[in-house]
Chains A and B, each alone.
Chain A
Amino acid sequence: MKTETQNLEELANRDYKYGFVTDIDADSLPPGLDEDVVRAISAKKNEPEFMLEWRLKAFRHWKTMTEPTWAFVKYPEIDYQAISYYSAPKKAGEGPKSLDEVDPELLKTYEKLGIPLKEQEILAGVVAVDAVFDSVSVATTFKDKLHDLGIVFCSFSEAVQNHPELVEKYLGTVVPHTDNFFAALNSAVFSDGSFVYVPKGVRCPMELSTYFRINAANTGQFERTLIVADEGASVSYLEGCTAPMRDENQLHAAVVELVALDNAKIKYSTVQNWYPGDKDGKGGIYNFVTKRGKCAGVNSKISWTQVETGSAITWKYPSCILQGDNSIGEFYSVALTNNKQQADTGTKMIHIGKNTRSTIVSKGISAGEGQNTYRGQVKILKGADNARNYSQCDSMLLGDRCGAHTFPYIDVQNPSATMEHEASTAKIGEDQIFYCQQRGISAEDAVSMIVNGFCKEVFRELPMEFAVEAQKLLGISLEGSVG
């Protein structure tokens, strides 16, 4: 009889389903980073002066910074001069006007990933996809429909061209160019990303969605996303990713900024499935992301939901600054590490306004030799009367070679605050697996069932179409990890 550990390992050793490289001519800058490269990126994108100035400020600041080492992750030193900072699929003349004009190779790539844009277009009005291939937006659908409502949903580059006043007003207001090493780097060299503006009183009628994908070899991917919900507006944004297989480690340093004004709501959901490297830890994406939302207005709400199953290294803390009185911040997270994956992820909830509330629910799953760290900060500032926080951090271990770590930081400067913190660590029981088997359920299905049950509170927060995908993803990511 096979031992359960062997079963787990077989499950874990399933190959990454999405490993392939699309053969497309890329218009890339040579590797290396200096002011000329920053200028070149800005020039290629035909940016206004304020953008170039902002990039240069960021670059000059970045040069004074050192890479942070406090996270519980280990990786070989990154040579920032060996990376190419710009790569765009070659265009014949102007950008494609419709999907028919899009490089068929590119469309095939998305098809392999199960994101048929054509079908999505037909599935009218359910999800609008602003698909990013490497660094440039390829196709944006449903824009017209959104346009009628006054909603701007476009690539960052287009926003810079068509809505420079909005970009200038909000860019860097949540994550300043000086914020941290990776955010500064991103500010200097970001190539593209998504931009959303929902005007006063408008509820966005559909889930906005983006698929990111890293393709060209050795190209760092630096996206910049900015979402602004004006007074009384609401929007739900989905971000999902897969990446092709590659041997070199690929650096990814994105920045996402959310701004919610008075009575506005933003829900940001992520399913991240970038290449995690093979079972020996070779290859895989380095994911150093700065995600932060500012509840700038009264009664505003920002909710982060993430399902992180990919990347070799994850360094990511989607956070909320609760500035407006009565504002609400939420963070729901599932992070899974298998094989040699390492994740250091969590959130920061900074309570500034009165009666601000935050909820943190974090579920960490470690399998193989995966290392999973929750790092979270809850800060209640002096003026934040009657602030409330509820934190729950649960870890689950599969097998005996993985690790789970929890670093909660709590800083309360106002005595009227209410804080609750719960934490648990459980080993996925052989007892639990055997119990399921004894009822006729295979070990593999049992693990999937137990893990999905463990994550239920988070999945409940995901939009329907994502919840199903997330459950499947966990199943795939855990295949071979039964122990």
Chain B
Amino acid sequence: MLEIKNLHAQVEDKPILQGIDLTINPGEVHAIMGPNGSGKSTLASVIAGRDEYEVTGGSIDYKGKDLLDMEPEDRAREGVFLAFQYPVEIPGVSNMYFMKAALNAVRTHRGESEMDAMDFLAWVKERAKLVQMDESFLKRNINEGFSGGEKKRNEIFQMAVLDPSLAVLDETDSGLDIDALRIVSDGVNALRNENRAVLVITHYQRLLEYIVPDKVHVLYDGKIIRSGDRNLALELEEKGYGWIEQEAAEATR
């Protein structure tokens, strides 16, 4: 599904990613952990195609296509979804209107007909249940006046509506209390299937108790310095990032 090779990227001439290799197959859930500034969010942004991030080397193959060659909206239409760490507010534009525009952009891209209002309504109502989102949220403006938890839930709701092939969750757990974390995780788990790949980016092992990953990678200084199964996350929780940093330092010595 996704094959990242020797990826290098920088922001304002400052190198952030320094050779990432990562392969995710359909149906798999991978977690990326790492300390602040290790490049986790940069990786998410590069996959989504954010302008400020300049790719200076390497490649990303997505479903046999060169992802880096695609506009952000085309990546989305091809099934790449990013759950934002900081979802933005768009005053005056309702969630419902936004989701309809988005879904129809995706459908048009796939050569499908636009969904009519009745079908769309039925679809979003069904998907809203996955994240226990009240229907009144649909009418509210995008993220305007939403609490931190509501915003994150809204991200997973959007993921449910758009039904992507590859979902990247960028610190979706940050700012969530335990109840919200459970709701969001249940939503993500309900969306797990053999065709969908998920990349979970997080600081904390806690989220991985709810969304159990197939693989865990530790990102440090723009490189994946260690990969393993979910036990790696537990080990990391126990020993802290200092342990990895030390190992990394020793490895480069």
Contact = CB atoms under 8 A, between A and B. Distances in A.
Main secondary structure of the interface of B (DSSP, over half): helix
B50 interface: yes
B107 to A, nearest CB: 9
A435 B87 contact: yes
Contacts of A439: 76, 98-99, 102, 105, 158, 162
A67 interface: no
Interface in B91-125: 91-93, 97-99, 101-103, 105-106, 109
Contacts of B98: 436, 439, 449
B51 A1 contact: yes
A453 B162 contact: no
Given A1-B49, A453-B91, A453-B93, A437 B101 contact: no
A159 B91 CA distance: 46
B141 A453 contact: yes
Interface stretch (A169-177, A304-312, A376-384, A426-434): A426-434
Contacts of A452: 92-93
Contacts of A69: none
A431 B88 contact: yes
Contact of B73 (A437, A453, A454): A437
Interface in B18-52: 48-51
A4 interface: yes
Contacts of B72: 434, 437-438
Interface in A459-482: none
Interface residues of A, number: 27
Contacts of B81: 438
A442 B90 contact: no
B71 A437 contact: yes
A314 to B, nearest CB: 23
Interface string A1-24: 111100000000000000000000
A202 interface: no
B73 A441 contact: yes
Contacts of A431: 88
B19 to A, nearest CB: 22
Contacts of B102: 436, 439-441
18 contacts: A3-B51, A431-B88, A432-B88, A432-B90, A435-B88, A436-B98, A437-B49, A439-B98, A440-B76, A440-B77, A440-B103, A440-B162, A442-B73, A445-B101, A449-B98, A449-B101, A453-B90, A453-B92
Given A435-B87, A439-B99, 11 more contacts: A430-B51, A432-B90, A436-B98, A438-B49, A439-B98, A440-B76, A442-B105, A443-B73, A445-B105, A454-B91, A456-B92
Interface of A: 1-4, 429-432, 434-443, 445, 449-450, 452-457
Listed from nearest, the 6 A-B pairs whose CB atoms lie closest are A453-B92, A453-B93, A439-B102, A456-B92, A440-B105, A440-B76
